[in-house]
């Protein structure tokens, strides 16, 4: 998560509320993310693998490869996250309340200077000394461990017939990150599990031994990850937008005394009594931080994980004009994380023999999901909620276009095409303001024909609409067809309650 702050956001009136909005972001975002765990870095996808329209596009040395699964495993676990977070107010309210409670309690405990426990502490389940445990975060270690537990559960639920019918006989390639099974037999099967829970596909499904090794490998990684913070974790980072020259003008700055923390300061005599507040993050990017630095620290590790078969998401959150689109997409001169991630993933795939990449660009606008790669008029696509026995709910947009990309340029062209169709509106704060949530998803699929294994990782890059309330940004030009504001409270732009 990349949280964006505009240090100049210190208006003379209504300042307290606005400062609170920025401060609340710091607390709300990590808490909210927990409820979006499925859209975060997670275990390799157990779902069925479906080729997108146009069929698979294979990398150098690849060959046309037919998938036996029906198409439709799609791309919007992030849309999920965003959609659920922003639209299902009933669900998020307790979480929001918990965060507000934390903020309030934190304030009460300090007087003029309040040090709020670091979000990462809360996320990783180490209760901050001064923090009451938020009710909806009940034991967040369990929450993080949920992914690992999920893997165990899915493995445990392998149908018996499947377990005994197949085996893996060859040593997996280096990229597969698996050990060969201890015992093997030659039988093969096209069987898949009832819930599509086998990641080994097409001509074979894992043997009992093989799948156990596979699972334990993932479980180890996931379990290890929550301990070492490399994978399977949520990191919350802040980037400060440049632009404020004078000290008096600034309401946010990196804290020199405490690493990776930001100090928020209220400007103006009316709210001086509020004092300062410090928030600690995984990383704080000062105003002078380059695009490259942001990518290297926050996104490059996720790209590596995607190549290893994990799903990852990068979500840019912040007020309008705070630099979300600049960070995610950037400009030709200052390339954002999206083009860098695309190049990074393609560079890694170039070392492999058999791979394919497809991309999709979706937009959540006015509470509906739109497919921005549809060549005709921009169309809405339905969101299907799928509830697996062990996987919880996931959301898919099977009708959304998934464009095959053989080169980074093709993937970038798809992103550019989607950006062009994205709804923008002029606000008083940002003349090219994004009024929708943009979700760019890149799916990297690698195959090993020898063992019939498929390894797939997804990267979701999300540029959220401005988090401010609509009336604050005075975005009066956009209204729904029914004359309502673009988004209601609690959803889309201005989604804070
Ligand atoms: N780190 C930065 N360095 C240089 N310019 C920046 C930086 N961050 C933002 N900007 C500039 O600030 C302006 C607003 O940024 P941007 O459009 O990315 O904001 P946003 O958060 O996406 O806003 P909205 O939610 O309204 O779309 C742009 O002109 C952008 O180039």
In the chain, where the domains are located: 2-164+167-473
Q: How far is the CA of 325 from the centre of ligand 1 (A)?
A: 6
Q: Which residue minimizes the CA distance to atom 9 of ligand 1? A: 323
46 neighbors 196 (Cβ within 8 angstroms)? yes
ipTM above 0.90, yes or no: yes
Q: What is the pLDDT of residue 360?
A: 94
Nearest protein Cα to ligand 1, atom 2: 241
d(CA 249, ligand 1 centre) in Å: 18
Two tokens, residue 298: 């926050």
Binding-site sequence positions for ATP: 318-325
What are all long-range contacts of 146-152, with beta carbons under 8 Å and residues at least 24 apart? Answer: 146/37, 147/37, 147/42, 147/43, 147/222, 147/232, 148/43, 148/218, 148/219, 148/222, 148/223, 148/226, 148/232, 150/43, 150/390, 150/391, 150/392, 151/43, 151/215, 151/218, 151/219, 151/222, 152/215, 152/219
Ligand 1, residues at Cβ distance < 6 Å: 4, 241-242, 318, 320-326, 430, 432-434, 465-466
- Atom number in ligand 1 closest to CA 464: 25
Ligand 1 probe mutation, 2, 254, 292, 326, most atoms within 8 A of CB: 326
Of all atoms in ligand 1, which is nearest to the CA of residue 327?
18
Measured in angstroms, how far is the CA atom of residue 403 from the centroid of ligand 1?
28
Say what the pLDDT of residue 445 is.
94
The angle at the Cα of 23, spanning 265 to 36, to the nearest 5 degrees, equals 155
Indicate the annotated binding residues.
318-325
pLDDT at 427: 54
Rounded to the nearest angstrom, the distance between the alpha carbon of 433 and the centre of ligand 1 is: 9
Distance 328 CA to ligand 1 centre (A): 10
Rounded distance from Cα 19 to ligand 1 centre (Å): 19
pLDDT of residue 415: 93
In this structure, which long-range contacts are made by residues 224-232, counting pairs with CB atoms below 8 Å and at least 24 apart in sequence?
226/124, 226/141, 226/144, 226/145, 226/148, 229/124, 230/301, 231/41, 231/305, 231/310, 232/41, 232/42, 232/43, 232/144, 232/147, 232/148, 232/310
Rounded distance between C-alpha atoms, residue 339 and residue 361, angstroms: 14
pLDDT of residue 314: 93
List the residue whose alpha carbon is closest to atom 13 of ligand 1.
321
In the block, tokens 């009992």 appear at 208
User: Does an H or E element contain 212, and which?
Assistant: helix 208-228
Query: Best mutation site among 5, 7, 241 for ligand 1, i.e. most ligand atoms within 8 A of its Cβ?
Result: 241
Across 328-342, b (16+ Cβ under 10 Å) vs e yields bbbeeeebbbbbbbb
How is domain 2-164+167-473 classified at the architecture level of CATH? Answer: 3-Layer(aba) Sandwich (3.40)
For residue 160, what are the contacts with CB-CB under 8 A and spacing of at least 6?
A: none
Identify the residue whose C-alpha is closest to ligand 1 atom 6.
323
Dump strand ranges (E) for 286-383.
311-318, 355-365, 368-371, 379-380
Q: How far is the CA of 9 from the centre of ligand 1 (A)?
A: 14
Q: Residue 148: CA atoms inside 13 Å, Cβ hemisphere, count?
A: 20
Q: Residue 267 has what pLDDT?
A: 64
pLDDT score at 121: 27
**Tokens in use for 206?**
């894992």
Compute the distance from residue 142 Cα to the ligand 1 centre, in Å.
Answer: 37
Nearest-atom index, ligand 1, CA of 331: 31
User: In a mutational test of the pocket of ligand 1, which residue from 239, 430, 477 has the highest number of ligand atoms less than 8 Å from its CB?
Assistant: 430
State residue 347's pLDDT score.
95
Averages of pLDDT over each 10 residues, the chain, 497 residues = 62 43 36 27 30 34 33 33 33 29 28 26 28 27 29 28 25 35 35 28 26 31 38 78 72 79 68 66 89 94 92 89 90 94 95 93 86 79 80 80 94 91 58 75 91 90 77 44 37 37
CA atoms within 13 A on the CB side of 304: 11
Atom of ligand 1 nearest to the CA of 424: 27
């Amino acid at each position: 998560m990349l949280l964006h702050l505009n240090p100049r956001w210190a208006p003379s009136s209504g300042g307290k509320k606005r400062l609170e909005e920025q401060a609340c972001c710091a607390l709300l975002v990590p808490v909210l993310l927990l409820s979006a765990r499925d859209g975060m870095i997670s275990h390799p996808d157990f779902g069925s693998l479906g080729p997108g329209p146009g069929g698979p596009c294979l990398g150098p040395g690849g060959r046309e490869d037919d998938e036996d699964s029906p198409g439709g495993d799609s791309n919007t676990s992030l849309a999920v996250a965003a959609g659920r977070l922003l639209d299902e107010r009933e669900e998020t309210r307790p979480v929001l309340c918990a965060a507000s409670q934390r903020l309030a309690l934190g304030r009460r405990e300090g007087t003029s200077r309040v040090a709020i426990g670091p979000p990462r502490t809360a996320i990783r389940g180490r209760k901050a000394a001064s923090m009451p445990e938020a009710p909806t975060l009940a034991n967040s270690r369990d929450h993080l461990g949920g992914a690992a537990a999920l893997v165990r559960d899915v493995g445990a639920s392998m149908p018996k017939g499947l377990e005994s019918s197949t085996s893996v006989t060859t040593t997996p390639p280096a990229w597969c990150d698996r050990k060969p099974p201890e015992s093997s037999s030659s039988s093969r099967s096209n069987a898949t599990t009832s819930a599509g829970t086998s990641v080994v596909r097409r001509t074979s499904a894992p043997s009992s031994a093989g799948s156990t090794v596979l699972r334990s490998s993932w479980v180890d990684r996931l379990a290890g990850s929550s301990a070492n913070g490399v994978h399977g974790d949520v990191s919350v980072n802040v980037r400060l937008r440049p632009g404020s020259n004078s000290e008096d003008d600034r309401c946010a700055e990196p804290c020199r005394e405490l690493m990776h923390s930001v100090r928020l300061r209220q400007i103006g005599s009316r709210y001086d009594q509020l004092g300062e507040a410090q928030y600690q993050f995984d990383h704080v990017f000062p105003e002078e931080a380059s695009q490259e630095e942001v990518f290297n620290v926050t996104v490059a590790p996720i790209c590596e994980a995607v190549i290893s078969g994990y799903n990852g998401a990068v979500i840019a959150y912040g007020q309008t004009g705070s630099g979300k689109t600049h960070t995610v997409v950037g400009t030709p001169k200052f390339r954002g994380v999206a083009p860098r991630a695309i190049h990074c993933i393609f560079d890694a795939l170039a070392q492999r023999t058999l791979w394919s990449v497809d991309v999709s660009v979706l937009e959540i606008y006015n509470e509906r999901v739109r497919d921005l790669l549809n060549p005709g008029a921009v169309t809405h696509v339905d969101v299907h909620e799928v509830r697996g026995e062990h996987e919880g709910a996931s959301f898919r947009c099977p009708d959304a276009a998934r464009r095959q990309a053989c080169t980074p340029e093709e993937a970038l062209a798809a992103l550019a095409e989607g950006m062009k169709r994205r709804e923008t509106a002029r606000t008083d704060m940002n003349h090219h303001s994004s009024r929708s949530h943009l979700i760019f998803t890149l799916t990297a699929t690698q195959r090993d024909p020898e063992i019939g294994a498929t390894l797939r990782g997804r990267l979701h890059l999300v540029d959220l609409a401005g988090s401010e309330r609509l009336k604050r940004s005075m975005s009066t030009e956009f209204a729904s067809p029914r004359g309502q504001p673009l988004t209601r409270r609690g959803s889309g732009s201005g989604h804070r309650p």
